[in-house]
A and B are shown apart, each in its own frame.
Chain A
């Protein structure tokens, strides 16, 4: 592109260019500006660090875990933290640290699957309802209301009870119960955007309704949805853990964190670590997502630009 891009020290300057010279550079400049804004927020950076650690742990679990998470060693059952088992062992003598490390994979899978299923669905329904208004809005929003009328965990329980326990069904149940708030957010944002002049200008150019929704409305509503998804990650993890705890999510011997707490419940007074260690893991990861979500909200909120 320009001479500045070719100089190695010029990359930063290139990313801060006021007048970019290509589409790619314009996008990267925006991204870099967002990154710099996020970097100024120490709490968001802590959240990001936690999530990066979670990702690394999930990816490397088989190599960094000291033991096989399913290996039972009844001779060493319920050993307290320390020594060969830094976080102790559970009632079947399995290493809790290894189980938590492997459990990160399950947690991450649930979170990603739910986010991938829920965000686009809620976004689509909210944007369509908000943009078209009238009967489209009424129908879609009444459906949304029906789903919102039930407490989420109860509805998820009902679905899992009907579909049968298991991690796939847990994901499905969480997804089905989680999309309505996203539809609400997307609709509210769309309603304010719909009346703006740039939408009128797009209509005057002859753009189709779907083209306007995709090209003009979604880019503005998506950031609120991303923020909300990030903030909801904690809730999703907790519901997944709750289902696991109730025996309706991941099934034994799978090292899912909620199921691990359920397993340790019997020993909570004498062998506190069995339930506490996965509990701490859930807390830390939930906190990480919440901190990052808060930081993202500050960066992505279009009203602050």
Chain B
């Protein structure tokens, strides 16, 4: 469904060039859920933005649903691929009602039956119709993230890019959103590409993952390997140990960057 080959993304020019992504390749099958894991600066979000078309400056090859993609994307591409952002406070327009937020993609793609689609989208993400004419500032973080998911799904895409979708949420709300995403994926056969730093969320959501460090993929593994702790690269092992909480041994083992 998604195929990325030798992806390179750089920022700046000349001597100031920062190679944020250095020759990254991976593929995600149809209906699969794949995670890019790494810490800040690893390039994981940059890969996501290149695939989504938000950042047009990259080289290499990106194909979505078998179609090779250039820097500009077609309207059909946007209907197939949607994204959910990290910060539910920044991803909804502060002066638009939920109704308008959901009506816009329907209008852009001339899908028609806006009323019916909006009602269904709200019901699908577990929000009642009472939320339809509210503004984002009247909603909690979890409710906003549900609206963002509804906005992404109202076009009935096949691929969903998830950029740290729960890292800004409380534990109990995170559980609700993760459950919702799992359910929607099962119901619709969606393909997920998840970017996160949280290995527990990866295990909860994905079948396979790639660990990124310094713009490169250092290890690709299955969620089963992750559960069993079968890591090959020392950096992955370090991430895994750190995700289990604090211990003097874990802290002492951290390789100084």
Identify B97's interface contact among A26, A200, A202, A305, CB under 8 A. Answer: A26
Judged by a CB distance under 8 angstroms, whether B167 is at the interface is no
Judged by a CB distance under 8 angstroms, whether A198 is at the interface is yes
Of B6-14, B15-23, B81-89, the one with at least 4 CB within 8 A of chain A: B81-89
Of B32-40, B61-69, B126-134, B191-199, the one with at least 4 CB within 8 A of chain A: B126-134
User: In the assembled complex, how far is the CB of residue A299 from the closest CB belonging to chain B, in whole angstroms?
Assistant: 13
From A22, which residue of chain B is reached at the shortest CB distance? B133
Task: Tell me, in angstroms, the Cα distance from A28 to B82 when the chains sit together.
Answer: 32
Contact bitstring B123-141, A, C-beta under 8 A = 1, else 0: 0000000111111011000
From A27, which residue of chain B is reached at the shortest CB distance? B97
Judged by a CB distance under 8 angstroms, whether B252 is at the interface is no
* Residue among B54, B73, B100, B133 facing the most chain A CB atoms (10 A cut-off): B133
Which residues 167-218 of A sit at the B interface, judged by CB distance below 8 A?
A: 196-198, 200-207, 211, 215-216
Residues of B within 8 A of A219 (CB): 93, 95-96
In contact, B94 and A302 (Cβ under 8 angstroms): yes
Task: Tell me, in angstroms, the Cα distance from A25 to B134 when the chains sit together.
Answer: 10
In contact, B133 and A20 (Cβ under 8 angstroms): yes
Task: Tell me, in angstroms, the Cα distance from A205 to B78 when the chains sit together.
Answer: 6
Q: A22-B133, A207-B104, A305-B137 are in contact. Are A198 and B99 (CB under 8 A)?
A: no
In contact, B82 and A204 (Cβ under 8 angstroms): yes
From B52, which residue of chain A is reached at the shortest CB distance? A204
In contact, A18 and B54 (Cβ under 8 angstroms): no
Residues of B within 8 A of A20 (CB): 133-134
Task: Tell me, in angstroms, the Cα distance from A84 to B220 when the chains sit together.
Answer: 95
Residues of B within 8 A of A207 (CB): 104, 108
Q: How large is the interface on B (under 10, 10 to 19, 20 to 34, 35 or more residues)?
A: 35 or more
In contact, B83 and A204 (Cβ under 8 angstroms): yes
In contact, B85 and A200 (Cβ under 8 angstroms): yes
Residues of B within 8 A of A206 (CB): 73, 75, 77-79, 105, 108-109
Q: A206-B75, A220-B95 are in contact. Are A196 and B90 (CB under 8 A)?
A: yes
SS of A interface (majority): helix
Judged by a CB distance under 8 angstroms, whether B53 is at the interface is yes
In contact, B108 and A198 (Cβ under 8 angstroms): no
User: In the assembled complex, how far is the CB of residue B108 from the closest CB belonging to chain A, in whole angstroms?
Assistant: 5
Judged by a CB distance under 8 angstroms, whether A23 is at the interface is yes
In contact, A25 and B85 (Cβ under 8 angstroms): no
In contact, B95 and A201 (Cβ under 8 angstroms): no
From B75, which residue of chain A is reached at the shortest CB distance? A206
Judged by a CB distance under 8 angstroms, whether B92 is at the interface is yes
User: In the assembled complex, how far is the CB of residue A199 from the closest CB belonging to chain B, in whole angstroms?
Assistant: 9
Residues of A within 8 A of B78 (CB): 204-206
Task: Tell me, in angstroms, the Cα distance from A220 to B77 when the chains sit together.
Answer: 29
Task: Tell me, in angstroms, the Cα distance from A302 to B96 when the chains sit together.
Answer: 13
Q: A198-B90, A198-B93 are in contact. Are A23 and B133 (CB under 8 A)?
A: yes
Identify A220's interface contact among B94, B99, B104, CB under 8 A. Answer: B94
Judged by a CB distance under 8 angstroms, whether B91 is at the interface is yes
Which residues 217-257 of A sit at the B interface, judged by CB distance below 8 A?
A: 219-220
In contact, A197 and B104 (Cβ under 8 angstroms): no
Judged by a CB distance under 8 angstroms, whether A138 is at the interface is no
Task: Tell me, in angstroms, the Cα distance from A220 to B96 when the chains sit together.
Answer: 10
Residues of A within 8 A of B52 (CB): 204
Residues of A within 8 A of B81 (CB): 204
Task: Tell me, in angstroms, the Cα distance from A22 to B87 when the chains sit together.
Answer: 27
Contact bitstring A9-33, B, C-beta under 8 A = 1, else 0: 0000000001111110110001000
Task: Tell me, in angstroms, the Cα distance from A205 to B107 when the chains sit together.
Answer: 10
Q: A20-B134, A23-B97, A203-B54 are in contact. Are A215 and B104 (CB under 8 A)?
A: yes
In contact, B54 and A198 (Cβ under 8 angstroms): no
From B129, which residue of chain A is reached at the shortest CB distance? A21
From A219, which residue of chain B is reached at the shortest CB distance? B95
From B85, which residue of chain A is reached at the shortest CB distance? A197
Residues of A within 8 A of B104 (CB): 202, 205, 207, 215
In contact, A205 and B105 (Cβ under 8 angstroms): yes
Identify B133's interface contact among A19, A203, A215, A305, CB under 8 A. Answer: A19
In contact, B133 and A197 (Cβ under 8 angstroms): no
Residues of A within 8 A of B155 (CB): 205
Task: Tell me, in angstroms, the Cα distance from A116 to B80 when the chains sit together.
Answer: 43
Residues of A within 8 A of B73 (CB): 206
In contact, B91 and A201 (Cβ under 8 angstroms): yes
Identify B151's interface contact among A19, A26, A201, A215, CB under 8 A. Answer: A201
Residues of B within 8 A of A196 (CB): 90-91
Instruction: Please name 5 pairs of A and B residues whose Cβ atoms are closer than 8 Å in the assembled complex, sorted by A.
Output: A21-B132, A25-B133, A200-B54, A203-B54, A205-B155
Q: Which residues of B contact A (CB under 8 A)?
A: 52-54, 73, 75, 77-79, 81-83, 85-87, 90-97, 99-100, 104-105, 108-109, 130-135, 137-138, 148, 151, 155
4 A-B pairs with least C-beta separation: A206-B78, A197-B91, A26-B133, A20-B133
Given A19-B131, A22-B133, A204-B54, output 19 extra A-B contacts at Cβ < 8 Å: A18-B134, A23-B97, A23-B99, A23-B100, A26-B134, A26-B135, A197-B86, A197-B87, A201-B91, A204-B82, A205-B82, A205-B104, A205-B105, A206-B73, A206-B79, A207-B108, A219-B96, A220-B94, A305-B137
